[in-house]
Structure 1
Amino acid sequence: MTINLVWFRNDLRIRNNLALASACKNRKSVVLALFISVLEQWKTNLISDRKAILIHEHVISLRKELMKLNIFLHYCKSSTFLKSIDCLITFCKKNKVQKLYYNYEYEFFEKKRDNIVAKRLKKNFILSKGFHNSTLFEPGSIVNKKGEMYKKYSHFKKKCIMSLSENNFNEYSIPKKRKIFVKKNNFKISLLQFPIKKFYKQLFPIGEKKILKKLKLFLKNKIQSYNINRNCLSLNSTSMISAYLSIGVLSPIQCLSIFLKYHSNINTYTVGTCNWINELIWREFFKHLLYFYPLLSKNQVLCNWEKRIQWKNNEKHFHAWKNGRTGFPIIDAGMRQLNKIGWIHNRIRMITASFLVKNLLINWRNGEKYFISQLIDGDLALNNGNWQWIASIGNDSAPYFRIFNPIVQSKKFDNMGIFIKKYVPELKKVPISIIHDPHLWSNSIKATIKYPEPIVNLISSRKIAIKIFKLAKFTS
């Protein structure tokens, strides 16, 4: 009788889980499951409190779902990725595991861990099998004619669309219930040694079925108007599935498969559906970049001029930015929302990040670290890729002279000030016509408002940023 072990990591689901499906192929095999928490590692990686809660809740949910399949999810505590190896090996020996199944992770230290695991298991005559199950395509399969990773997103996207049209994606179903059920312990899953913040379950429901229902409702009812409404900050117009993709409760193949049920031909989608698929492909692009260039996992960049940028790194400005006290309503509303619920709209991420890097001249790494420490959907590849994009130093990034004007962006995407007034209540009495630049109004009527003065001049700071970036890029 073969004993198989499924090692759950960033794939907390029973549907479309290639490692789980493969472990369950032989109906006569005993299948065990294991999740190892690495609390010190998560804290080192600045995982947010809310993401820790999300993982905790979904590990509990996963255990319940697996129990229905007669598979028990064992739980083990460790501290770091490398120390978790001993925990895994010990478990395999104790339970006489013959085959280990897991889905790949592409970050540097996770890959290092998996390489060591494979070697140590081989010495103990235990077979290990890894699967690509967190991306649409196996990293290394979307390359140019030289076999290299695309440097331009547009080229990568074109190849992806061609491959999406040519491939039939298998969405692996839930495995059948096992005939043999082995339950050796019932340790309480106690992941939370993080400061507990308010968790908004109405925004971030728990459980695979609820997540799939959320996605299906979006793809059925909202995606056609996604192009029009996706940037409107006061509307609930996005899918809000990023948190579930980040911990693997949902896979991108599931997203695509469900999408195709409602929109059968990927080559004839509308503008709205096109933009949503585009978001999936951007995710893919950043994941593949991280796989090809391990240095991206270490806060490094691919361009050779970034180190010449003369950052100001003003601590008072950084503190004001983090706490939503910059004097620019759209910036402050966005940062306060981030601090309150652990999530912000992608448009707000771009506006606030651009302001930090280009107007305040604060190193993008500081912003990247703060975002990852707060985001419920924090993902190294995406967070790193997007911050390098906004800082104009990553692959296919925005030009260095592209700087978002927060007042213009505010007028365009929160015209009525609904989003601003929700998160910056001290501006509730300010007329809508002037809410995007409230001090103009207060000065005109010679009144004071309990709201900070702008910490920087947009026009002069923009000129300085362009000069500094240009000097760094074109000076050898």
Structure 2
Amino acid sequence: MHLVWFRRDLRGLDNRALSAASDASEPVVGIFIETPEQWASHHLSPKQAGLIKARLDALREELSAKNIPLVVERAADFPQSAEKVADYAHRIGATAVFANKEYELNESKRDEQACAALADKGIAWYAYDDRNLFAPGTIKSGKGEPYKVFTPFKKACLRALDGMDVSPCQKPSKRETNSAVDAIFSQLQPIHFDYPMEDVSDWASDEKGILAHMRRYCREQVADYKRQRDFPAVDATSQLSPYLAIGALSPRQCLARLQEEQADWREPDTGAATWLSELIWRDFYQEVSAQNPAISKKYSFLAWGESVVWDNDPTLFEAWKTGKTGFPIVDAAMHQLNQTGWMHNRLRMIVASFLTKDLLIDWRWGEDYFMSKLIDGDFASNNGGWQWSASVGTDAQPYFRIFNPTTQGERFDSDGRFIRRWLPALKEVPGKHIHNPWQWADKYAQSLDYPRPVVDHATQRKKALAIFEAAKNQPQEQTP
């Protein structure tokens, strides 16, 4: 019997561990371990927990049609989950456990422990690179070193794609059942999580619905991605990130469909090529995380980032979290996040810059808050984005490049359509004043149920420049 350990790879199609386990005639059983204490320490959002639960329900049904039972167990944390899988594999007489690799520090240690525990029981361990277009360590510079800057990494990835077969591996064929598998099916209980969950009924969780969403986007919308992606009032992004984050969809499936639907996917400046760049960004941050374990310990990629002296005002942090900063584009974005568990990517950059450069609050506070809310929370991508915004990460914007939240709003939500959707208190403010509502209110003696700006951007910009310059001039210690 073969046991497949599902983690962030919750799909039957294009799942390398599942495919390998199914190659032989052995019966196959799937297992998933809920780890509530570990999830809490990683700030897993209730939205994402809800999506994982919904996806497990659908995946169990999809696998059952192939005579593959999916067992869901619970362990407090990753070390206990490793022992749980080894014990379960031994109990059902499995000869091997198959899993897809995860590259973060805690996850890697968990798998080392699982491998050792299984070896003690005489059970084989097989792990596969499945999460990315290119496994960490695959794409290297001419000197044989990992890339630290995105653009040359992207160019190397595009070269590697020439002639590469990205066809997804197929689902397992229907398995022959036996008494042992039948016994496992008979013992399955409804899936229940101890971890808090929120409603995700607006998101598809079945394979058919997820694939239809991906195919429709690649066929009908991706051509406009480059032109429209920065405008949050426009429905121009794929919103496939939640499925990529939990592995309900693979990046290879996305690329294969993009190639199928868009002949110009390699042409510079097309919507298809720009969207492919986002998939490669995902690979890049996974690469950075895998090659630099200190990132999983919350260290800055750039050593001088540890010398930044943050203000860390809890009152200002609360205003940022609750969308009460008095900067409309920032507040509207935070209301979108808090209410839906998702935020437009341009807005993620704006609010992250505002937290770190205007409010002078440690990027790690924002990183954790995002993870606690995002339905598409992914450690590597979230960490990479926050370090980029704070100018302390790989490929980071220079520390002296500071977003002006007002001009960002004027540029990307010029008529205030997005702002009015999420901040109804500003719905009567005329369009040309929507990004400075208090200027209008004071001039025309209007009342507003909306806070005044909590800081002055020009003043905070000067402070940020001084703080970051001082940090860069400090003697640097090597990041552990």
Tell me the TM-score range normalised by the shorter chain: over 0.9
Give 1:367's aligned amino acid.
G
Q: Is the 8 A contact 1:286 1:381 kept in 2?
A: yes
Q: In the alignment, which of 6, 21, 24 is matched to residue 22 of structure 2? A: 24
Counterpart amino acid of residue 207 in structure 2 = E
Whether the 8 Å CA contact 2:219–2:262 is kept in 1: the answer is no
- Structure 2 residue 272 is the aligned partner of structure 1 residue 273: yes
**Amino acid of the residue matched to residue 19 of structure 2?**
A
Point out where structure 2 has 5 or more consecutive residues left out of the alignment. Answer: 476-480
Question: How far 1:101 moved relative to its partner?
Answer: 0.7
- Partner residue of 2:304? 305
Provide Cα deviations, 1:239-268, integer angstroms capped at 9, x if missing partner. Answer: 000000000000111111111111246433
CA deviation digits over 1:62-81, x for unaligned, max 9? 10000011101011111100
Q: Contact 1:153 / 1:285 at 8 angstroms: preserved in 2?
A: yes
Alignment pair present for 1:75 and 2:100:
no
Q: Distance in 2 between matches of 1:138 and 1:307?
A: 29
| 1:409 matched residue in structure 2 | 408
Counterparts of 1:367 and 1:454, CA distance in 2: 19
Partner of 2:444: 445
Which residue number in structure 1 is paired with residue 234 of structure 2? 235
Does residue 164 in structure 1 map to residue 150 in structure 2? no
Alpha-carbon deviation of 1:123? 2.1
- Output the CA distance in 1 between the equivalents of 2:435 and 2:265: 40
Q: Distance in 2 between matches of 1:99 and 1:396?
A: 41
With over 3 angstroms needed to count, the CA separation of the structure-2 counterparts of 1:390 and 1:270, relative to structure 1, is closer
* AA partner of residue 195 (structure 2): Q
Root-mean-square deviation (Å): 1.2
- Of 105, 109, 112, which aligns to 1:108? 105
Q: Deviations over 1:332-358 (max 9, x none)?
A: 000011000100000000000000000
Shift of 1:467: 1.6
Measure, in 2, the Cα distance between the counterparts of 1:466 and 1:244: 38
Match of 1:180? 177
Q: Which amino acid aligns with 2:460?
A: S
Conservation of the 8 A alpha-carbon contact between 1:165 and 1:266:
no
SS of 1:460 mapped into structure 2: helix
Q: Is the 8 A contact 1:53 1:192 kept in 2?
A: no
Residues 416-471 of structure 1: per-residue CA shift (max 9 Å, x gap)? 11111111111111111101110010010122211101000011111111121112
Cα distance between partner residues in 1 of 2:170 and 2:36: 31
Match of 1:189 in 2: 191
- Partner SS for 2:303: coil
Give the secondary structure class of the aligned counterpart of 1:36. Answer: strand
Alpha-carbon distance, 1:475 to partner: 3.7
Query: Which residue number in structure 1 is paired with residue 478 of structure 2?
Result: none
Partner of 1:214: 213
Following superposition of structure 1 onto structure 2, how do residues 39-438 of structure 1 map, counting pairs within 5 Å?
Answer: 39-181=36-178, 182-183=181-182, 184=184, 185-194=187-196, 196-197=197-198, 199-202=199-202, 204-264=203-263, 266-268=265-267, 271-438=270-437
CA contact (8 A) 1:7 1:33 kept: yes
Aligned amino acid, residue 201 of structure 1 = S
TM-score, with structure 2 as normaliser: 0.96
SS of the aligned residue for 2:118 comes to helix
Deviation at 1:331, TM superposition (A): 0.4
Structure 1 residue 470 corresponds to structure 2 residue 472:
no
**1:17 and 1:269 mapped to 2: Cα distance?**
31
Distance in 2 between the 1:261 and 1:269 partners? 18
The answer to whether the 8 A contact 2:35-2:74 is kept is yes
SS of the aligned residue for 2:126 comes to strand
Per the TM alignment, residue 307 of structure 1 is displaced from its structure 2 partner at its CA by 2.0
The residue type paired with residue 438 of structure 2 is: H
Which amino acid is the alignment partner of residue 147 of structure 2?
A: Y
Could you give the per-residue CA deviations for residues 120-167 of structure 1, whole angstroms, max 9, x where no partner exists?
A: 212211111100000001210111123211111111111011011242
Which of 6, 10, 13 is the aligned partner of 1:12? 10
| Stretch moving more, 169-178 or 349-358 | 169-178
Q: Deviations over 1:71-105 (max 9, x none)?
A: 01011111100011221111111100001111001
CA contact (8 A) 1:165 1:267 kept: no
AA in 1 matched with 2:307: R
Give the deviation of 1:209 after TM superposition.
1.3
Cα distance between partner residues in 2 of 1:82 and 1:238: 37
Q: Give the TM-score taking structure 1 as reference length.
A: 0.97
| Distance (whole Å) between structure 2 residues aligned to residue 200 and residue 468 of structure 1 | 41
Kindly provide the amino acid, as one letter, of the partner of residue 201 in structure 2. K
Output the CA distance in 2 between the equivalents of 1:223 and 1:59: 29
CA contact (8 A) 2:265 2:272 kept: no
What is the CA–CA distance in structure 2 between the aligned matches of 1:415 and 1:25, rounded to whole Å? 55
Distance in 1 separating the partners of 2:229 and 2:240: 14
Q: Which residue of 1 aligns with 2:459?
A: 460
Cα distance in 2 for residues equivalent to 1:259 and 1:333 = 32
| Residue identity in the other structure for 1:99 | A
The one-letter amino acid of 1:71's match is I
Same amino acid, percent of matched pairs:
39
Q: Which aligned runs of 4 or more in structure 1 are off by greater than 2 angstroms? A: 199-202, 263-270
Distance 1:91 1:386, change over 3 A: same
Give the stretch that moved more between structures: 366-375 or 114-123.
Answer: 114-123
Q: Could you tell me how far apart the structure 2 residues matched to 1:53 and 1:395 are?
A: 32
CA distance in 2, matches of 1:249, 1:192: 22
> How much does 1:200 deviate?
4.5
